[in-house]
């Protein structure tokens, strides 16, 4: 069991990458704290984990609110006695997100509040808990667009994921001597509800697919397996990494510096 006796908190756990990661972590022995905005939705995921023989609890939180993030970490420690892993995965991709001229300020602010501030607050309250546990792993969901930009305009999303990537690198350096590892999982385009709603026409989908060397969208389960490695002791010498799991898209288009 790669996460035996570890306690892992996962935000955005009601669907997509978060749900698959909750199930995958539990398969490997983790006690899972599944967090999302809707208690009913995330409780269903916790029930799936328990029905499969794992241990999990559900907690409703808005990751853009400091009080909610503080409470979710406190609840994890109260329920399971410690926190070893936090996967700051909650995020949005707003349908009104476009180029700088067309994107409304409210879309920018909402996207940054959830995608970037939510990661900051998750780290803010999880790091003291990880210290109490003697160290641990922080995984922040960034994106391949943080490295290369997007072919389909989504300026707020891209900027928010760039912020996550930069924040991850700095926190990794600051906390390395505390046995706290901080890494950014950077998925490529995925066949998830989040992206499929944004790419709402065949033309938009094809504009993404044409750039992916593997010729397909990734699956949430594949990202869960990547997060599992970052959460486990197998990645014990990995921190500050831009962990691209993108079907080769950045290798095809980004020139190494």
Exposed/middle/buried for 255, CB within 10 Å: 0-12, 13-18, 19+? exposed
Q: pLDDT digit string (tens) for 13-40?
A: 999 999 999 999 999 999 999 999 999 9
Tokens of 45: 């995921």
Active site residue 253: no
The pLDDT assigned to 253 comes to 82
- Per-residue pLDDT, averaged over 139-154, amounts to 92
Q: With cut-offs at 50, 70 and 90, classify the pLDDT of residue 256.
A: low
Q: Which domains does the chain have, with CATH numbers?
A: 7-190+220-244 (3.40.50.720)
Q: pLDDT digit string (tens) for 50-82?
A: 999 999 999 999 999 999 999 999 999 999 999
Q: pLDDT digit string (tens) for 91-133?
A: 999 989 999 999 999 999 999 999 999 999 999 999 999 999 9
Which is the catalytic residue, given 80, 120, 157, 243?
A: 157
CA distances from 47 to 17, 52, 62, 77 (A): 17, 8, 21, 20
- Tell me whether strands 180-187 and 31-36 are parallel, antiparallel or unpaired: unpaired
Q: What is the residue-averaged pLDDT of the chain?
A: 94
Q: With cut-offs at 50, 70 and 90, classify the pLDDT of residue 255.
A: low
Q: With cut-offs at 50, 70 and 90, classify the pLDDT of residue 199.
A: confident
- The Cα–Cα gap between 24 and 152 comes to 31
């Amino acid at each position: 069991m790669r996460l035996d006796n570890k306690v892992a908190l996962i935000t955005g756990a009601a669907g997509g990458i978060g749900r698959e990661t909750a199930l995958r972590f539990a398969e490997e022995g983790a006690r899972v704290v599944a967090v999302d905005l809707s208690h009913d939705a995330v409780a269903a995921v916790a029930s799936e984990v328990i029905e499969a023989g794992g241990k999990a609890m559900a907690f409703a939180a808005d990751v853009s609110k400091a009080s909610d993030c503080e409470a979710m970490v406190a609840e994890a420690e109260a329920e399971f006695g410690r926190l070893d892993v936090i996967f700051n995965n909650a995020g949005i991709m707003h349908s009104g997100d476009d180029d700088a001229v067309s994107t409304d300020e409210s879309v920018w602010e909402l996207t940054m509040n959830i995608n970037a501030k939510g990661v900051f607050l998750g780290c803010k309250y999880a790091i003291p808990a990880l210290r109490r546990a003697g160290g641990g792993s922080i995984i922040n969901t960034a994106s391949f667009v943080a490295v290369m930009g997007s072919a389909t305009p989504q300026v707020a999303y891209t900027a928010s994921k760039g912020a996550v990537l930069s924040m991850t690198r700095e926190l990794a350096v600051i906390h390395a001597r505390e046995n706290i590892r901080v890494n950014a999982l950077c998925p490529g385009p995925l066949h998830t509800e989040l992206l499929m709603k944004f790419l709402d026409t065949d033309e938009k989908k094809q504009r993404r697919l044409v750039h992916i060397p593997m010729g397909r969208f990734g699956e949430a389960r594949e990202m869960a397996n990547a997060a599992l490695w970052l959460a486990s002791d197998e990645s014990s010498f990995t921190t500050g990494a831009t962990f691209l799991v993108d079907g080769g898209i950045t290798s095809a288009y980004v020139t190494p510096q």
